[in-house]
């Protein structure tokens, strides 16, 4: 079985604090713990506001609380960066278009460590 | 073995009428713990052992399952059932003897209460469920099975570190 992070660590964090689902739901401004239970069981993904609220409650960044989601997002983005980079490298219109493509490629290389190939 | 601090295991302690579990992610982090009864004829206790373990495996996708060697016939049958299921899903299993577990808690292994206290010191989140010291006329607290499972998990990481 592959070693990967769990989609979220809400239950682990909650159990560590000793809080019940109902108490966490109260902190989130809800009446019952049912919705939080759905997030814990990974049946649903919480909206951004709830994710940020969890960050405040448990004192862990969203990317750690939702480590599995974060990893899969990173993987998807890395794939798309490669595709975008390859598209930009193919732009051979010359002049302004090429300069702009080069600028984007250099940003991709700086920010995301994408290796530049043909145009550098 | 993948990086040890991300290595997820399901530590189990099989008792003839219940089982305790602790899910570890690396040697220093517990994700979940609990005790499940398998003795009843109604409600949640009627759900067979295999299904309860399967649910945990699906929920936590552990890389390994760690158990103590069974010492009764009923526990042995339960462990066999678990092993059959686990092998079907290609999950690594490791069985540790109670001696091997005690070795890890050297100096504090005279009885289960001492080992449970040592476990609770290492994982303060378990302190709230630490059962009171058992008196000779009392039967074992059902929560003790969680500490037995935790002790197996700790022993596994200590041996494989």
- For B134-143, the CB contacts below 8 A with 24+ separation are B140/B112, B142/B18, B142/B35, B142/B37, B143/B20, B143/B35
Listed by start position, the domains of chain A span: 10-65, 71-112
- Compute CA distances B156 → A61, A102, B104, whole Å: 30, 53, 9
pLDDT digits (tens, 9 = 90+) for B14-56: 888 889 999 999 999 999 999 998 876 777 777 778 888 888 9
**What's the CATH number where B146 sits?**
3.30.420.10
Number of compact structural domains in chain B:
1
Q: Quick check: A1 contacting B, CB < 8 Å?
A: yes
Q: Whose structure tokens read 């339960």?
A: B78
Indicate the residue of A1, A11, A18 with minimum beta-carbon distance to B32. Answer: A11
Indicate the residue of A3, A4, A16 with minimum beta-carbon distance to B125. Answer: A16
Contact B29 A12 (CB under 8 A): yes
Residues of A in contact with B128 (CB under 8 A): 18
pLDDT at site B32: 95
pLDDT at site A2: 44
Span B74-80, average pLDDT:
83
pLDDT digits (tens, 9 = 90+) for A57-116: 999 999 999 999 999 999 999 999 999 999 988 876 678 888 889 899 999 998 888 766
Q: Quick check: A16 contacting B, CB < 8 Å?
A: yes
pLDDT digits (tens, 9 = 90+) for B135-149: 999 999 999 999 999
**B160, two tokens:** 């494989």
Contact A3 B29 (CB under 8 A): no
Asked whether B145 and B37 are in contact (CB, 8 A), the reply is no
Find all residues with CB under 8 Å of A77, minimum gap 6, and list them. Answer: none
Q: Which CATH number fits domain A10-65: 1.10.260.40, 3.10.450.50, 3.40.50.280, 1.10.10.10?
A: 1.10.260.40
Give the domain range for residue B38: 4-160
pLDDT at site A62: 96
Residues of chain B numbered 8-37 and touching chain A (CB < 8 Å): 8, 25, 29-33
Q: Quick check: A38 contacting B, CB < 8 Å?
A: no
Residues of chain A above pLDDT 70, percent: 91
Interface probe for A, chosen from B6, B24, B25, B31 (most Cβ of A below 10 Å), is B31
Q: Quick check: A15 contacting B, CB < 8 Å?
A: yes
**A29, two tokens:** 């401004």
**pTM tops 0.90, yes or no:** no
For B29, nearest residue in chain A (alpha carbons): A12
Span B87-93, average pLDDT:
85
The DSSP bridge partners found for residue B93 are B65
Residues of B in contact with A8 (CB under 8 A): none
pLDDT at site B76: 84
pLDDT at B94 over 60: yes
pLDDT at site A116: 62
Residues of B in contact with A15 (CB under 8 A): 30-33, 125
Torsion of Cα atoms, A14 then B38 then B158 then B121, to 10°: 50
């Amino acid at each position: 079985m592959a070693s990967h992070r769990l989609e979220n660590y809400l239950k682990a964090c909650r159990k560590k604090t000793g809080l019940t689902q109902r108490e966490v739901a109260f902190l989130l401004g809800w009446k019952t713990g049912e919705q939080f239970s759905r997030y814990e069981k990974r049946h649903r993904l919480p909206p951004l506001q709830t994710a940020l609220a969890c960050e405040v409650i448990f004192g862990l960044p969203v990317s750690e609380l939702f480590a599995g989601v974060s990893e899969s997002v990173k993987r998807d983005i890395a794939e798309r960066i490669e595709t975008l980079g390859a598209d930009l490298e193919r732009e051979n219109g010359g002049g302004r278009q090429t300069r702009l493509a080069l600028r984007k490629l250099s940003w991709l290389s700086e920010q995301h460590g994408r290796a530049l190939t043909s145009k550098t | 073995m993948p990086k040890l601090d991300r290595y997820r295991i399901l530590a189990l302690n099989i008792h003839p009428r219940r089982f305790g579990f602790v899910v570890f992610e690396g040697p220093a982090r517990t994700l979940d713990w609990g005790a499940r009864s398998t003795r009843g004829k109604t409600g949640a206790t009627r759900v067979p052992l295999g299904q309860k373990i399967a649910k945990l495996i699906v929920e936590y996708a552990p890389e390994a399952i760690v158990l103590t060697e069974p010492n009764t016939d009923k526990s042995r049958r339960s462990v066999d059932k678990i092993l059959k299921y686990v092998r079907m899903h290609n999950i690594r299993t490791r069985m540790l003897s109670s001696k091997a577990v005690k070795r890890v808690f050297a100096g504090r292994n005279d009885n289960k209460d001492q080992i449970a206290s040592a476990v609770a010191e290492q994982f303060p989140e378990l302190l709230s469920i630490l059962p009171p010291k058992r008196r000779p006329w009392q039967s074992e607290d059902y929560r003790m099975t969680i500490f037995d499972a935790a002790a197996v998990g700790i022993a596994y990481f200590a041996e494989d570190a």
